[in-house]
Chain A
Amino acid sequence: MEKTKPEKSLEKAAHGMADTMLAVIDKLAGKESDIKLSFEDLTLDLGMFKATLNGSIVLDIVYSKEAKT
């Protein structure tokens, strides 16, 4: 099925965000860093229902060792 123009632009934006996130994670890799996303009364309207998010997501980055030069 052919994608509409807004769908394409959304997909492009999502790819851009993912690439940036990946690049930041890559920079932090091997430094035993973490990225924490904390949500405080984040209210989203998802069309069929509304959702409020509270809490946090932690990404622990320990998947590689930094090369020694």
Chain B
Amino acid sequence: MSLADILGQMLLSGKVTVSTNNVESIEIRAANKKIDVNAVNKTIVKEALKASRTGGNQGLLKSLDAVRNNLDMLRGVAEELSDAGVTVTLSYKGDLVATLGSEAKPKLSSVVTGTKAIEINNPIKLIELGL
């Protein structure tokens, strides 16, 4: 059973809010095999993303390598979600930024991502979030 299967089968419905110092950062809502991850405060999201990338200041080649590895991982997760019939949407302050999984309908972005399981809905907001 993959992580996507677990998300689709275990997480039935409801809401989880992540706050730091009483400031809401991320809201996660689940219903009917759809999970929306809404970033409310971009600072903590950027910190988390920065922290998840290994090392501090790296050379350009190592940074590009890290981006490629992250994209590979994201592609794998999105394809697993798609196979499991699960959709994960990423939003920033309620505006849809990207869709991963079964309901993703990419146009040109599949050329960049190399998969039909990732749809970039708002590239400007995506860059703003530092993804």
Using a CB–CB distance below 8 Å, which chain A residues touch chain B?
6, 9-10, 13, 16, 19-20, 23-24, 26-28, 33-46, 50, 52-53
Taken residue by residue from 78 to 106, chain B's Cβ proximity to chain A (1 for < 8 Å, 0 otherwise) reads as: 00000000000000000000000000000
Task: Check B48 for interface membership: any CB of A closer than 8 A.
Answer: yes
The number of residue pairs between A and B whose CB atoms lie closer than 8 Å in the complex comes to: 75
B13-51 vs A, Cβ < 8 Å mask (1 yes, 0 no): 111111111100000001000000000000010011001
Contacts A34-B21, A36-B17 aside, 10 further interface pairs with beta carbons under 8 A come to A10-B3, A20-B51, A34-B20, A36-B18, A38-B19, A42-B30, A43-B13, A44-B10, A45-B10, A46-B10
Interface of A, helix, strand, loop or mixed by DSSP: strand
Q: Specify the main secondary structure of chain B where it touches its partner.
A: mixed
Is the CB of B129 closer than 8 A to any CB of chain A? no
> B51: which A residues are within 8 A, CB to CB?
20, 23-24, 26-27
